[in-house]
Every structure is written in structure tokens, then in C-alpha cells.
Amino acid sequence: MGTRRGGPGPTTQNGRVRDVVTAARRVVVKIGSSSLTTATGGLDDERVDALVGTLGALAAEGREVVLVSSGAIAAGLAPLGLSRRPRDLATQQAAASVGQGLLIGRYASAFARHGLTVGQVLLTVDDVTRRAHYRNAYRTLRKLLDLRAVPIVNENDTVATEEIRFGDNDRLAALVAALVHADLLVLLSDVDALWTGDPARPGSSRISEVHDERDLTGVEVGGAGRAGVGTGGMVTKVEAARIATGFGIPVVLTAAPLAAPALAGEPVGTLFHPSRRRPTARLFWLAHATSPRGRLHLDPGAVAAVVDRRKSLLPAGITAVDGAFTAGDPVDLVDAGGAPVARGLVNYDAVELPGLLGRSTTELAAALGPAYEREVVHRDDLVLL
Ligand SMILES: Nc1ncnc2c1ncn2[C@@H]1O[C@H](COP(=O)(O)OP(=O)(O)O)[C@@H](O)[C@H]1O
Ligand SMILES: N[C@@H](CCC(=O)OP(=O)(O)O)C(=O)O
């Protein structure tokens, strides 16, 4: 199967309207910092208004819109007298704290002109991996949509520390699309499509459709464009497209000024086709959104039980434990060679486990009480890697 690649002209390769786009009822749109800010880093009112105009028209058609917007850090720079994106986390968090308020205020007044109310939703990794938080985030987003409000999502930058951050909103957008069961994810950037290589380099050309991994073979995917504004570059967008399409959600990647034609199904930008049917939303997030807090080493019998027979993990099959996790944390299950075979939410604190290893649940219940009959990781909380 070949990739259809466009030449250097306008990005309308075959003139056909994209049905997966026009049929989408619930749409997640992600916009990057570089598409919302001026060259000096402040919020660009015209660009905000243009985006809101397009999304307002979508909502007027009865379609549901979730906006994932970057730009908090960029919007906070000038008010704090900073000229470029700071490197240290604390200053980034301070800038995000100042900028997020400005950003949401700007959106609130722009959407109000289209008769729409916005709801701010700031998420951390825990919100999408811990079962109680996950349900909560889903419920809130669903309720906002039911009430015809536009959820505006960003990472909760002011509290997200280095180790628990998403770090880029492309991945966050893919995970939000999975969370709300979106029909379409649109990634808006400062580049009009995925190109075969750095768009500034002669010889690179646009890619109009990606059907599967093979279409990405040989594509040079680089880092952020405008220095000091965007974060992940094309790498995180392609990764986000992989996550969303792996969840059964088509993705359109294009430039912010092309949002309206892209959402009308015109063949602009790059369309990534879904690669599979939807897996269970929460487990999908567990695999893609979490960083494991520890490792459980399994004997071969436990690997076979978990991987081949899809059983819960019991203490008897665990040979060793690493990490300082507490019950409810994500942990990796690794085989005798240390290779991860599954990820799951553990039911015990790390300090409790050494005393339980190698013992049967019946023996543990008799010695320690019925609470110790529980699985170390329940099969409903396990995803194979
Ligand atoms: N193969 C590629 N195709 C398109 N753009 C690319 C590619 N490789 C690197 N880029 C760069 O990625 C940039 C977009 O990423 P980024 O600046 O992080 O945007 P955003 O702020 O929208 O997230 C583009 O401006 C482009 O210079
Ligand atoms: N949460 C950060 C955005 C991080 C991010 O992914 O930025 P970008 O690459 O511009 O989409 C902020 O609001 O500044």
C-alpha cells in the first residue's frame, strides 16, 4: 500500500470529501502554542478568534467539540517579563499559572460571542490512569458536552512534576479523544501536513494519507519548529496519531488556518486512518498514559497465566518486587529476563508484598486474614504490552 504524497502545490490531492470527517459527531481539536501566539510570544487575538469562529460553526451544526489548547506557558511569558520559554520546571509552572488564566479568559469571551460557554478542564496523568479519577474526568467532560458547553483541556502544568507530566499536549489530546470516545481528532499546528522530511528542506513533500506504519517508513520526523514556542515538534504529533488511530479514531493533522476546510472534510493536511477497533478505554490509557511506579518480577508460570490465559496475578507467581509504589499505582509485570509483559494497577503497597511472595492466597488468608486473599493485580486492571 503506498502513501499518496502531494507535490508542493495546495494540499488538495484528490478533491474527495473525507467521509470519516464529515460523519464525526464528537470531535477533539488540539491547537499548539505556535498557532496561538505572536512572534514575541503573547496570545494572538486574531488567531484565537479565527479558531473559535471555526469551532463555533461546528457546534452550531450540532456537533460536540472538545478543545485541547496549549499556550498557557507562552501566554504567561510576557506578563512575567520573560522573553522565551524557560527551561526550568518551576518557572514554566509559574508562567503556566499566569498564562492559563489569560488563555481561558480569552477563549471564554471569544466563545461567548458565538453563544457558547466554556469549561476549563486541567488534567494530570493520574486523572486518566487511576480508576476513580478516570471516571471522574470522563463524567465531567460528558456532562459539559451534555450541557452544550465546550470543554477546554490543558495539562495541569502548575502541579504536574517532571515525573508525572504528559509533557506534550499532542499525547494528552489523543488520550482525551480516547476518554470521550471521540469520532475524530484534529491536530492543528504551524505546519500544513506531515511532510516526508523537514518542510523547509528542498525535496520534502506533503503526505496526504497514512494508512498504517508502512506509510511512515522513511519519513523524517523532526522536533519543534519555531524556537522556544512549541514543544514536541512532529514526533509527538505522529505519536499522538498512533495512539488515537490505535484506539479506532481517525486523525487529521493540519495548520490552524486550515481548520475550517479540514473540519468540512476537504482533503487538506494528513489523514491518519484508524488502525484497529476500539479497545477498552481505561486499559488503553493504562498502557499509553502511565509511567510505571515499580516492577513485579514473574516466574514463567505466572507469565503464562497472565499473558496466555488472561488470569489475575497472584502472589505465588511473583519472585521479586522493585519500586516504591502504593496500592492503586501502575506497575509493570516483567518476565524472568526483565522484559515487561503487562502493565496493571497493583492492589498492595510495595512494602506489603515481600512477605506475601510465593505463597498461595488460601495460605495467606488463613495466616493474615481474608483481605490477603485478593489478587496482586486483578485481570480487569491488566493490559498486555
Ligand atoms: N516531517 C515533518 N513534517 C512536518 N513538520 C515537521 C516534520 N519534521 C519536523 N517538523 C516541524 O514540526 C513543527 C511543528 O511542531 P511544534 O512546533 O511543536 O508545533 P505545535 O506548537 O503546533 O505543537 C513544524 O513547524 C515543523 O518545522
Ligand atoms: N501545557 C503546555 C503546552 C505544552 C505543549 O504540548 O505545547 P505544544 O507543543 O505547543 O502543543 C502549555 O499550555 O503551555
| Ligand nearest the Cα atom of residue 237 | 1
Would you list which residues are annotated within the binding site for substrate? 70, 157, 169
Whether 296 and 276 map to the same domain: the answer is no
pLDDT of residue 91: 93
For the segment 144-195, what is each residue's pLDDT rounded down to a tens digit?
998 999 999 999 988 877 666 776 899 899 989 988 889 999 999 999 999 9
Ligand 1 atom closest to 196 (CA): 1
Whether 221 and 344 map to the same domain: the answer is no
Whether 315 and 188 map to the same domain: the answer is no
**Protein residues whose CB sits closer than 6 Å to any atom of ligand 1:** 32-35, 189-191, 194-195, 197-199, 219-222, 224-226, 230-234
The CATH number of the domain where 371 resides is what? Answer: 2.30.130.10
Whether 181 and 305 map to the same domain: the answer is no
Whether 210 and 232 map to the same domain: the answer is yes
Do strands 194-195 and 206-207 pair parallel, antiparallel, or not at all (unpaired)? antiparallel
For ligand 2, the distance from its centroid to the CA atom of residue 334, given in whole angstroms, is 33
pLDDT of residue 17: 92
Whether 161 and 178 map to the same domain: the answer is yes
One-letter amino acid at 309 equals R
Residue identified by cell 505546519 is 191
Whether 232 and 327 map to the same domain: the answer is no
Whether 114 and 240 map to the same domain: the answer is yes
Number of helices and strands in the chain (H, E): 12, 16
How far, CA to CA in Å, does 125 sit from each of 46, 152, 207, 256? 32, 17, 32, 27
Would you list which residues are annotated within the binding site for ATP? 30, 189-190, 231-237
Whether 142 and 274 map to the same domain: the answer is yes
Whether 149 and 224 map to the same domain: the answer is yes
Q: What is the complex's ipTM, to 2 decimals? A: 0.94
Q: How many domains does the chain have?
A: 2
Final residue in a domain of this structure, among 261, 284, 307? 284
Do strands 5-6 and 206-207 pair parallel, antiparallel, or not at all (unpaired)? antiparallel
pTM: 0.76
Please give the Cα distance from 86 to 82 (Å, whole number). Answer: 8
Ligand 1 atom closest to 169 (CA): 23
The CATH number of the domain where 15 resides is what? Answer: 3.40.1160.10
Final residue in a domain of this structure, among 242, 263, 284? 284
Whether 238 and 360 map to the same domain: the answer is no
The cell for 122 is 486541567
For the segment 303-360, what is each residue's pLDDT rounded down to a tens digit?
999 999 999 999 999 999 999 998 888 899 999 999 999 999 898 999 999 999 989 9
What DSSP string describes 224-247? Answer: -SSTTT-SSHHHHHHHHHHHHHHT
| Ligand nearest the Cα atom of residue 235 | 1
